[in-house]
Amino acid sequence: MKSFLSKYSLFLFLLFAVACKKNDPVNSTVTEAKPQNSIRYAKGFEIYKHEGYSIVKVSNPWPEANKTFTYVLHKKGISLPDSLKNYTSLQVPIKSVVVTSTTHIPSLEMLGVENTLLGFPDTNLISSEKTRKLIDAGKVKEVGANQSLNTERLIDLDPEALVGYSSGSDTKTYDNLQKSGLKVFFNGDWMEESPLGKAEWIKFFGALYGLDEKADLLFSEVETAYKEATELAKKATTKPTVLSGAIYKEQWYMPRGNSWAATFLKDANAAYLWADSEGTGSLALSFETVMEKAENVDFWIGPAQFTTFKEMTESNPNYAHFKAFKNKNIYSFSSKKGKTGGILYYELASNRPDLILKDLIKILHPELLPEYELYIFEKLK
């Protein structure tokens, strides 16, 4: 009898334990199948989607970052596992935000949430007419310079999320803002090496606004357009040589072979003369080195800030010796500006790499896009 009662008691205990596990929402979350990272191109962040919440990990917000930032974005009424309670958490969708890079603006506009923007550092840099109307109406406030944000102004604005950008590990301003109660989320879109990797950061904003499906769809459209343009470029019967950059303080700066800008040229089926250089940043070369290799170059794409041939020769008369200069085959992105001087390329190019690639194909292989009109680039005047 004692043996039977012992077995019966053990059965009731196990049954009770299983029932508690099934009815406990926290435990059920912990034991659910581990989701896969939903990001495919970007290297600097990951998103793991759970039932009722998402985990966003940002691992490369600035050069040589040695820390991963983990954010938990959850719906209202969701109980989070204890293992996540030490991370920055935020109820989504958010209804107000401050962003700190012009590359964040297109994501807000594409998602249709630009009206939630409360502040931005140096609003003159914003080119988009849609967001400029909000600025002119006083709905988007100045919040200082990016590396010295106006703490008092930000505390007064009290955004639900502050999307931060930093060029290095000195984040004292952001640390102080977090101590004041603001929720800071670092965005490292500018660190991505591939055009589609940069564009995929729209999913970061999609997670903040609870618009994951819309962000996925928007990115998918850009991805498809970019890949179609890449395939179109492969049909070109020529592969013109290309030079980029210009002289700054006696050094010629141009993209390295694995950089974002060089990838555009590769995908446009161009023969970028420094395509075999290693790395993702910029090369710094002497004028003589560039002249020796590129004197007979077919096209010059992105000559720094120059927008006219006159500006170039006034800066350095030796620019006129290049074949691309003589044939007037120099194209710049610096002439397309907003009404307060912001350069559209620095704002839109990250989100819409398909437009940049099509511009380059039109320049280098005009026969492939006979009806297309340049969107960002313009021929120097």
Q: For 310-344, what is each residue's pLDDT tens digit?
A: 999 999 999 999 999 999 999 999 999 999 999 99
Name the domain count of the chain: 2
pLDDT of residue 130: 96
Based on the fold, state whether residues 195 and 245 are members of the same structural domain.
no
Per-residue pLDDT, averaged over 211-238, amounts to: 98
CATH code at position 260: 3.40.50.1980
Chain segment 259-316, per-residue pLDDT in tens: 999 999 999 999 999 999 998 889 999 999 999 999 999 999 999 999 999 999 999 9
pLDDT cut 90: percent of the chain above it: 88
pLDDT of residue 281: 85
Based on the fold, state whether residues 181 and 276 are members of the same structural domain.
no
β partners of residue 156: none
Residue 168 has pLDDT above 60, yes or no: yes
Q: Which of 174, 194, 223 is the last residue of a domain?
A: 223
Q: Chain-wide mean pLDDT for the chain?
A: 91
| Closest listed residue to residue 266, CA positions, set 297, 234, 237, 308 | 234
pLDDT of residue 145: 83
In a domain, 251, yes or no: yes
The whole model's pTM is what? 0.88
pLDDT of residue 24: 40
304: Cα within 13 Å, side-chain hemisphere: 16
Q: Residue 19: pLDDT band by 50, 70, 90 thresholds?
A: very low
Residue 128 has pLDDT above 90, yes or no: yes
Q: What is the largest CA-CA distance in the chain?
A: 106
Q: Residue 240: pLDDT band by 50, 70, 90 thresholds?
A: very high
Q: Residue 221: pLDDT band by 50, 70, 90 thresholds?
A: very high
pLDDT of residue 10: 37
Based on the fold, state whether residues 253 and 181 are members of the same structural domain.
no
Joined tokens for residue 348: 């839109």
Chain segment 61-96, per-residue pLDDT in tens: 999 999 999 999 999 999 999 999 999 999 999 999
Residue 8 has pLDDT above 80, yes or no: no
Q: Which of 177, 202, 223 is the last residue of a domain?
A: 223
pLDDT of residue 33: 63
Residue 360's domain comprises: 234-379
Based on the fold, state whether residues 196 and 319 are members of the same structural domain.
no
Kindly calculate the radius of gyration of the chain based on its CA atoms and give it in whole angstroms.
Answer: 26
pLDDT of residue 89: 96
Q: Residue 152: pLDDT band by 50, 70, 90 thresholds?
A: very high
Task: Say which residues have a Cβ less than 8 Å from residue 357's Cβ, sequence separation at least 6.
Answer: 195, 226, 229, 230, 233, 264, 267, 268
Task: Say which residues have a Cβ less than 8 Å from residue 124's Cβ, sequence separation at least 6.
Answer: 340, 341, 342
Per-residue pLDDT, averaged over 346-353, amounts to: 96
| Closest listed residue to residue 94, CA positions, set 181, 138, 159 | 159
Based on the fold, state whether residues 275 and 362 are members of the same structural domain.
yes
Q: Which of 170, 203, 223 is the last residue of a domain?
A: 223
Based on the fold, state whether residues 326 and 209 are members of the same structural domain.
no
Per-residue pLDDT, averaged over 239-257, amounts to: 96
pLDDT cut 70: percent of the chain above it: 91
In a domain, 132, yes or no: yes
**3-class DSSP state for residue 217?**
helix
Q: What one-letter code names the amino acid at 381? A: K
Based on the fold, state whether residues 240 and 372 are members of the same structural domain.
yes
Per-residue pLDDT, averaged over 215-221, amounts to: 98
Based on the fold, state whether residues 172 and 242 are members of the same structural domain.
no
Based on the fold, state whether residues 183 and 244 are members of the same structural domain.
no
What distance lies between CA 69 and its chain's CA centroid? 17
Q: Mean pLDDT check: name the lowest of 4-13, 126-135, 283-292.
A: 4-13
Task: Say which residues have a Cβ less than 8 Å from residue 375's Cβ, sequence separation at least 6.
Answer: 355, 358, 359
Angle (nearest 5°) at CA 368 between 362 and 374? 20
